[in-house]
Amino acid sequence: MNARIERIYYHLPVSIQNLLLSIYGYNLQKIRHGRQCHDFLQQIEGRVTLSKEKLEEIQWKIFSKLLIESKEYVPYYRDALKGISIQDFNSVNDLQKLPLLEKSVLRTTPESLIDERYEKKKLLVVHTTGTTGTPLKIFCSSEARKKNYAFYSRFLQQAGINYSGKRATFGGRIVVPNDQDKPPFWRYSFFQKNILFSSYHLTEKNIPSYILALRKIKLEYIDSYPSSLFIIAKYAQQQSISLDGITKAITTSAETLFPEQRKVIEDVFGVSVFDQYGAAEMCVFVGQCSHGLYHVHSDYAIIEFLREDGSPAMPGEEAEV
């Protein structure tokens, strides 16, 4: 929602807020999912069992196409890749031959990174949260956005979650007015089958109403910031309240999931927590499988793990992504 609509939204009755969120959610569904997303999901479902060598072949095919097209159609890379050709690369391990993309370029001239085959006005704009600095504006095509959510759907499948099932979300968006002091501290997005709980009203006084609401809903999964669900789980633990049976699984993202948070949440809800790491820039995707292991989705993007000096890190070393 834009700022003006949000201001109006906060002064409307809850039923109208639910209606507006449902309309907004319907538009998000069209942007994120649909036929393209479904078709691409079918393409990538079988890749999870491929060998390292097969995945590297897929990476190389995607990388080669991207390099050639970036040099031909993207103004920034047309200049940055002068003197560099596909013949200079033998595999994705030669990635260091590429010049680094500085964040200053994304901040000051994001349009220079748009493929000239696309009309800017038809592109989607994604804003980063700015957790590592100034928020950035990212342009992307509808196709790219749907592919991104196909990978997220695959992550849910690997966790045994029906991605089209009913869910509860504890996120960063302010869906309930800050000055509201009585329940409901949640709103409903009908087309997304999503109950959006406020992360900003989780006080000791209010948590019992959250628990009561969660118990009334038959959920496929809960998608949450770790800190938000931990507050509820910790309260329930201290009050000897079991939340077992509320949901089939829990996914977390956007924040670091600490071991204590995982243990308390899993103990109280009686289900596994599947953590996921991604970025608004759609340049990395890491998720946990049903065995609790973190996996880099190497067919989503090529990820480098580097030491402070920029050299490749070895397995087990602390590194930057």
Domain count, the chain: 2
**pLDDT tens string 62-91:** 999 999 999 999 999 999 988 888 888 887
Collapsing DSSP states into helix, strand and coil, what is residue 73?
A: helix
The predicted pLDDT at position 93 comes to: 77
111 is a domain residue: yes
Cβ–Cβ contacts within 10 Å for residue 137, how many?
13
Query: Cα dihedral sign for 204, 257, 222, 143?
Result: positive
- Alpha-carbon distance of 5 to 21, in angstroms, equals 11
The predicted pLDDT at position 130 comes to: 54
**pLDDT tens string 119-138:** 999 999 887 765 555 678 88
- For residue 319, is pLDDT > 90? no
Task: State whether 136 and 166 are in the same domain.
Answer: no
281 is a domain residue: no
Strands (DSSP E) contained in the chain are 124-127, 137-140, 167-170, 186-189, 194-197, 221-224, 250-252, 273-278, 285-288, 294-296
230 is a domain residue: yes
6 is a domain residue: no
Here the tokens at position 167 are 């869910």
Half-sphere exposure of 25 (CA within 13 A, CB side): 18
Here the tokens at position 90 are 């033998």
**Domain range for 243:** 160-271
66 is a domain residue: yes
Give 91's DSSP letter: S
**pLDDT tens string 19-58:** 999 999 999 888 898 888 999 999 999 898 899 899 999 9
- For residue 227, is pLDDT > 90? yes
Mean pLDDT for the stretch of residues 92-99: 82
Task: State whether 138 and 207 are in the same domain.
Answer: no
65 is a domain residue: yes
119 is a domain residue: yes
- Alpha-carbon distance of 202 to 231, in angstroms, equals 7
pTM of the predicted protein model: 0.88
Task: State whether 180 and 138 are in the same domain.
Answer: no
The confidence band for 311, taking pLDDT boundaries of 50, 70 and 90, is: confident
- Alpha-carbon distance of 142 to 37, in angstroms, equals 10
30 is a domain residue: no
> What is the residue-averaged pLDDT of the chain?
90
Mean pLDDT for the stretch of residues 315-319: 84
CATH number at residue 213: 3.40.50
Cβ–Cβ contacts within 10 Å for residue 97, how many?
9
